[in-house]
Amino acid sequence: MNRFAAIFLFVVTACVAEADDGVVNNEAEEWACVEKGGRYEIGGILGRNNCVLPTADAGKMCTQNSDCDSFCLAETQTCAPETPMFGCFDVLVESSQKATLCVD
């Protein structure tokens, strides 16, 4: 009986597929990202590779999102340093109104 149980467990565990984290490292995409001055890294709720690029107006003073290539960060009243930015943060929308933005 013990021999049967051992064989059964061996067969069952052999049938279990390894977990796929879904992250595929595309070397061509990574190289293109780095060539543009970016960082190729995992981010967002899905944990996928992204090209994080610096914005041309990073750190520039702003009063609303339209002043920036990306977002106008409410806390510092400056343009976001990079895109995409994951997580939740306050931005200044039109007429300097504050809104919370969550990017996944």
pLDDT tens digits, residue range 79-102?
999 999 999 999 999 988 999 999
Task: Give the number of C-alpha atoms closer than 13 A to the C-alpha of residue 52, restricted to the C-beta side.
Answer: 14
- Phi–psi pair at 73, nearest 5 degrees: -75, 125
User: How crowded is residue 7: how many other Cβ atoms within 10 Å of its Cβ?
Assistant: 10
Q: What is the mean pLDDT of the chain?
A: 83
Locate the domains of the chain by residue range: 23-53, 55-104
pLDDT of 74 higher than 60: yes
DSSP 99: E
Q: What is the SS3 assignment for 68? A: coil
Tokens of 68: 């920036």
The single residue listed with the structure tokens 């009063």 is: 63
pTM: 0.70
> Please, what is the Cα angle at 60 between 57 and 62, to 5 degrees?
110
